[in-house]
Structure 1
Amino acid sequence: MNSINRPFVIGISSVSGGGKTAVANKLAELLPDAVTLCFDDYDDTNTHPASLETWRKEGGDYTVWQTPALTQDPRSTA
């Protein structure tokens, strides 16, 4: 398989309301086999910090963010 046919991941980050979803949707239009996974679809305060500000003030430990639904989504392994 040549490198042009290898799967790749594009991560998009921005502030709330910064256009991440719009950019992802546009990329999905332009890339025919693209799959989009948006964190907002898995936003559950039962599995990650309810307050981003409190989390940040407490040191911002990324290991407390759990997204089991994302890892179980069949699209995440496509």
Structure 2
Amino acid sequence: MENNDWNIQSAAQGLGISRPLMYKLLDSHSQIRRAEQRPMEEIRQTLETSAGDIEACAVLLKRPSEALRWYLKVVGR
């Protein structure tokens, strides 16, 4: 994921697997936390550090940007 800037599609293609399988692998990894498992303050601070750039924020949080973008939309941020 780091080699693909936390982009799921790129990482899945690089591994020759589907996006759904990539999501399953990420969900089962003990060191990768879903956005909703992080305190909102941590996400806010990281967004501020990355000047509001969701892709850069996702890299810092070690979370796919698509998932972070979806979560922020759901919580109204």
TM range (shorter): under 0.3
> Of the two structures, which has the highest relative contact order with CA contacts closer than 8 Å and spacing of 6 or more?
2
- Between Structure 1 and Structure 2, the one with more helix by share is 2
Normalised to the residue count of structure 2, the TM-score between the two structures is 0.27
